[in-house]
Amino acid sequence: MNYNLMSMKKVFVGLSGGVDSSVSALLLQQAGYDVTGVYMKNWSKDLPGFPCPWKEDYQDAKRIAVQLGIKFELFDFEKEYFELVVQYMLDGFKAGITPNPDIMCNQEIKFKLFYDVAREKGADFIATGHYARTIDGKLLKAVDDNKDQTYFLYRVEGKVLENVLFPIGHLTKSEVRKIAEENNLVTAKKKESMGICFVGKVGIKEFLSQYIDTKPGNIKDQNGVVIGEHEGAIFYTIGQRHGLDIGGGLPYYVTGKNMSKNEVYVTTDLNDKSLWSSEINLTSVHWINHAPKQEQSLQVRTRHRATLVNCKIKNITKEHCILELEDPIRALTPGQSAVLYDGDICLGGGIIC
């Protein structure tokens, strides 16, 4: 790895306790940077049946710092995290949309709060274990298309990205594992965490149940006939197939929900017009460097790892944007993000409404 920068520049790297951030710290050290590892304590609360893994992750991060012989700090962002990320998520689900806490965490915590504190402490750069690349403040897709995480980074500011390093963005996951094993890193064989980004193995349903009161309601088919009962409308997303507990016949897909009536609507028809969209309305748009032009042809991704779809910019304003799709997309989910690309460059995006 060579960023063509002077050696001994100070970089604060976010150490999560996982293999990706561990290898990132190693590569930065090998490149001659003055590296400080930082564990961000964002969440520590246990949930019934799901103990929070933060202590284990913190210890793994500390072990990596000791193993590499680098400085190590803990930044306690728990209060800010709840206010800026968790509350945002809870408010979204209450409103009947499906927010993305990973994106908000990157916007508010990792690339704003962490960035600001690190810079105040004298860091020239911050670094994370994200699979992404930067060039002159532009955000580029990772070399490993299957691991690319630019979808979650589209709300980061370009001026911040000028001082951000993504040491593993040019590597595949298997190459990262190999580097970790060759250097006997203590996290080399650690599995990736699943579930909500900050709670560990707990699922979204279990988490929301701790904070939002829900009650059963009707599930109605495309003909308005009540065919079942749900446990709470907040738990269902557009296009969802599994977890509906509706027996017999063809599979059902969620087409919508009414929060005031506490009803969920489903269909057995995959060609149902309510499941398909030929345009996307975006709000809270954010452009990393500058806004695209009216009528510009780009590519859009509507969920992590989703296939890129050709689109054209329509009716772009400061806050809103309409995308005209070359091919219809199934199951657009309000509250999720649509992220725009021009080839390998991630331009930004907005919230689907």
How does DSSP classify residue 24? Answer: H
286: β partners: 349
* Cα–Cα dist 69/76, whole Å: 22
Kindly write down the DSSP assignment for every residue of 103-159, as one continuous string.
Answer: HHHIIIIIIIIHHHHHHHTT-SEEE---SEEEETTEEEE-SSTTT--GGGGTTS-HH
CA angle 288, 294, 299 (to 5 degrees): 60
The Cα 325–Cα 352 span in angstroms is: 14
* CB < 8 Å & 24+ apart, contacts of 59-63: 59/17, 60/17, 60/18, 60/186, 60/187, 60/190, 61/15, 61/16, 61/17, 61/21, 61/37, 63/186, 63/187
Measured between alpha carbons, how far is 353 from 350 in angstroms, rounded to an integer?
9
What are φ and ψ of residue 15, in 5° steps? -100, 110
Active-site residues, by number, are: 105, 197
Relative to beta strand 337-342, strand 297-301 is: antiparallel
Rounded CA separation 129/193 (Å): 14
CA–CA gap between residue 162 and residue 43 (Å, rounded): 28
8 A C-beta contact, residue 40 and residue 193: no
Chain centre distance of CA 107: 10
